[in-house]
Structures are given as structure tokens and as C-alpha cells.
């Protein structure tokens, strides 16, 4: 058995896997997810070489990045023998959808307390939540969420069932970091099998998943750059990412620290705010769909891919570089913005190949 003192930097990918394996987890996601080279897209852009890490294919109700961290998050509900999970989240949350699916797999029921007005005809994640059988409450603000959660907990207990509120416990953040520490190792092993290595890794990030990528870079002493793209104004991402990474290092027993200065975050593609569709994200979605047949969403991955495209045009990412784009899922959101996407798709045309390449 490995001892903590055996883990001297730089670590091998195998050593990182052994570290992650010290943490309890529940198998839920379909892993490893594919790594797909976007050859047509790269040719059209005139470079760089682009690979897609398909974490939209993790299984469980359309998949997505949350399926990975739920393997760590769902340990405590199982240990506590919880029968009803209760979560307070945003109206269109991808986390809600995947958690309900995971709970169903594990024989639990889920109550969602969602902040926002219910649409007259639920689409996207809301429709999937209903199909999965979640009990859903719509409330106007966070104070109302707290009140309704207390009411639901009390009701479930009176019914003789065991509730658990699964919203803000520490493993939510650490589980994401562990998941994407392992995902990065998985990606690097896949790249190695193809004789390639990334110069840049792009991922939508509010801090949690990016913490895992930053950890992998430090523990492996890897030269690639991690570029996180935020899609809301809620967090100051670098210090949040560093804190989550350091909490994860402490859990793993490693005497290593991540400084916020090590975290690269771009916040210039949020647009008017979280949940708002931008013209750049629609262009990015159409480009990916019509070159690689891969569907992005307009709220998360569409904006992150738009950022990557801008960075290529601006020279932040050189044309001779190799890039991995982490597709974190969120695909059901396209149905919530169907008319906007349809109108854009009807007038969109692929740009001409750069330098006349075909």
C-alpha cells in the first residue's frame, strides 16, 4: 500500500489515480469518456489541433460533468441510508438533473427546490426532471428556498422517511476537484495513446472542476495551461478555485499549496449574465455542430467554445498548438432556447476555410 510520503512530486498518472482511489465513491458514471479529435473543425480554422473530451457522454439522463462528482457526493447519502434527497438549485440546473438520475439509480427519491418562475411548458432540464419523477417546488428567491427546504424536511420526517439536504456540503466542491483531477489523468492517458500532448485545456468553470485540472497540472508538473471560462458573475474564480484545490490537497494528505495566481480564468463571455444566450455562443454552437456533429449548449459550453475561438483569432492560442476542449454537457438546455437557436441556425453559414484550406 502506498504511503503519503511515497507521493513526491512530480507524480505519475498512475500515482494520481492511486491517490484518488483512496477516497470512497459510488460507481455511477460511464467512464472513461471518449476523446475525439475535431479534424474538420481544425482544418476549417487553419489550426490549432483540437480534441474534445466528451464528458457529455457520462451517462445518466443526458450525462455531463456532474455525473463524475456525484460518484463522490453520493457516498454520504448511502452511508446515512437517506431515502429522500432535497436540493436547492437554480431553475435550469444541470446538477439537479444528474442528481435526480443518480438518486433513482440508488433507490432514493429527490425533492428539488428551484429558484425561478415555472415556465408554462417545461423544456430542457425541467422536462427531464419531471420525467425522472422529481418532486419540484418553484420559489422566488434564496430565502424562500430555505423556508421550503425546512418544510419539506419536516414533512418527510413526519412521513417516517429519512431526508438529507444535499446542497452545500463540502464534498460538493471537493468531489468536483477529485473528479476532474481524475478526468485530466484519463485525458492525458488517452492523448498519450494517440502520440499527442495538450498545450491548452479549456473548460467551463466556476471554480470547482477547474480545481481538479489545476491540481493535475501541479501534481504532474505538467506544462499545459488550464484556461477556465466562467459563465456567471457570481464568483471570483481564481481564489475560489485555489481554495477548493487546497481543501482537496488537505483531504489527500499532500503538503502542497495552490496559489490563486496559478489559476487562469476568463470572464469576458458571460454576456448580460448567467443563463443569457449570446450571439457568440450561438455562432460557436453552430460551428461545432456543422463541422463535428457535436451539440454544445448556449449557456455553458457554447460560451466556452466561443472564448476558445476568440483566443485562437487573438493569438492567445497559437495555430500550431494542441488544445483539449472539455465538453461538460448541459445539452438539454438547447430545448429551452429552441426558437432562438432555430432563428440563428436558419441564417448561419460556415466561415470560409482559413488560408483557403479544404
Q: What is 173-188 written as a DSSP string?
A: HHHHHHHHHHHHHHHH
Query: What's residue 1's pLDDT?
Result: 43
240-260 as b/e: b if 16+ CB within 10 A: bbbebbbebbeebebeeebee
Query: Class of the 4-65+171-356 domain?
Result: alpha beta
Q: Before 10, cis peptide (omega within 30)? A: yes
Q: What spatial distance separates the first Cα and last Cα of the chain, rounded to whole Å?
A: 54
Pick the residue with more confidence: 357 or 48? 48
C-alpha cell at 178: 477529485
Distance, in Å, from the CA atom of 60 to the CA atom of 186, rounded to the nearest integer, reads: 20
Rg (alpha carbons) of the chain, rounded to whole number: 20
For the cut 50, the answer to whether the pLDDT of residue 206 exceeds it is yes
What ranges in the chain are assigned the alpha helix state H?
13-20, 39-45, 66-73, 75-79, 94-105, 124-132, 142-158, 171-193, 208-220, 237-252, 279-292, 301-314, 333-336, 338-347
Q: Is the entire prediction scored with pTM above 0.75?
A: yes
For the cut 80, the answer to whether the pLDDT of residue 108 exceeds it is yes
* Residue 140: partners with Cβ closer than 8 Å, 6 or more residues away: 115, 117
For the cut 80, the answer to whether the pLDDT of residue 339 exceeds it is yes
Element of type H or E holding 201: strand 200-204
Mean of pLDDT over the chain: 95
CATH 3.40.30.10 fits 69-165, yes or no: no
Distance, in Å, from the CA atom of 132 to the CA atom of 152, rounded to the nearest integer, reads: 19
Query: What's residue 6's pLDDT?
Result: 56
For the cut 80, the answer to whether the pLDDT of residue 295 exceeds it is yes
CATH 3.40.50.1100 residue ranges of the chain are 4-65+171-356, 69-165
Query: What's residue 167's pLDDT?
Result: 74
Residue identified by cell 476568463 is 266
Per residue in 55-97, pLDDT (tens digit) is 999 999 999 999 999 999 999 999 999 999 999 999 989 999 9
Residue identified by cell 455562443 is 281
Cα distances (Å, whole numbers) of residue 108 to 27, 81, 84, 96, 146: 16, 9, 6, 14, 22
User: 228 near 263, Cβ under 8 Å?
Assistant: yes
User: 232 near 255, Cβ under 8 Å?
Assistant: no
SS3 content of the chain, % helix, strand, coil (to 5): 50, 15, 40
Torsional sign, CA 266, 269, 273, 277: negative
Per residue in 142-201, pLDDT (tens digit) is 999 999 999 999 999 999 999 999 976 677 899 999 999 999 999 999 999 999 999 999
Amino acid at each position: 500500500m502506498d504511503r503519503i510520503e511515497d507521493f513526491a512530486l512530480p507524480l505519475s498518472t498512475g500515482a494520481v489515480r492511486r491517490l484518488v482511489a483512496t477516497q470512497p465513491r459510488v460507481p455511477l458514471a460511464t467512464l472513461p469518456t471518449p476523446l475525439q479529435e475535431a479534424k474538420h473543425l481544425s482544418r476549417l480554422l487553419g489550426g490549432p489541433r483540437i480534441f474534445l473530451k466528451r464528458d457529455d457522454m457520462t451517462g445518466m439522463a443526458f450525462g455531463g460533468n456532474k455525473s463524475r462528482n456525484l460518484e463522490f457526493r453520493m457516498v454520504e447519502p448511502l452511508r446515512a441510508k437517506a431515502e429522500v434527497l432535497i436540493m436547492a438549485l437554480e431553475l435550469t440546473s444541470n446538477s439537479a438533473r444528474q442528481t435526480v438520475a443518480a438518486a433513482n439509480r440508488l433507490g432514493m427519491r429527490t425533492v428539488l427546490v428551484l429558484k425561478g418562475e415555472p415556465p408554462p411548458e417545461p423544456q430542457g432540464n425541467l422536462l427531464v426532471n419531471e420525467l425522472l419523477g422529481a418532486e419540484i417546488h418553484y420559489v422566488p428567491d434564496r430565502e424562500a428556498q430555505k423556508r421550503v427546504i425546512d418544510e419539506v424536511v419536516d414533512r418527510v420526517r413526519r412521513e417516517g422517511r429519512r431526508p438529507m439536504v444535499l446542497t452545500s456540503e463540502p464534498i460538493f466542491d471537493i468531489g468536483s476537484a477529485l473528479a476532474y483531477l481524475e478526468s485530466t489523468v484519463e485525458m492525458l492517458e488517452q492523448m498519450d495513446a494517440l502520440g499527442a500532448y495538450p498545450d491548452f485545456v479549456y473548460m467551463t468553470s466556476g471554480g470547482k472542476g477547474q480545481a481538479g485540472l489545476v491540481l493535475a497540472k501541479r501534481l504532474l508538473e505538467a506544462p499545459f495551461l488550464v484556461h477556465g471560462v466562467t459563465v456567471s458573475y457570481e464568483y471570483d474564480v481564481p481564489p475560489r478555485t485555489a481554495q477548493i484545490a487546497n481543501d482537496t490537497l488537505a483531504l489527500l494528505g499532500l503538503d502542497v499549496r495552490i496559489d490563486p495566481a496559478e489559476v487562469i480564468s476568463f470572464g469576458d463571455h458571460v454576456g448580460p449574465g448567467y443563463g443569457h444566450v449570446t450571439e457568440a455562443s450561438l455562432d460557436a454552437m453552430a460551428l461545432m455542430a456543422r463541422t463535428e456533429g457535436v451539440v454544445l449548449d448556449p449557456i455553458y459550453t457554447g460560451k466556452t467554445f466561443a472564448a476558445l475561438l476568440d483566443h485562437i483569432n487573438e493569438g492567445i492560442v497559437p495555430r500550431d498548438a494542441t488544445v483539449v476542449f472539455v465538453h461538460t454537457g448541459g445539452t438539454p438546455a438547447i430545448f429551452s432556447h429552441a426558437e432562438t437557436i432555430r432563428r440563428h441556425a436558419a441564417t448561419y453559414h460556415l466561415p470560409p476555410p482559413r488560408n483557403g484550406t479544404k
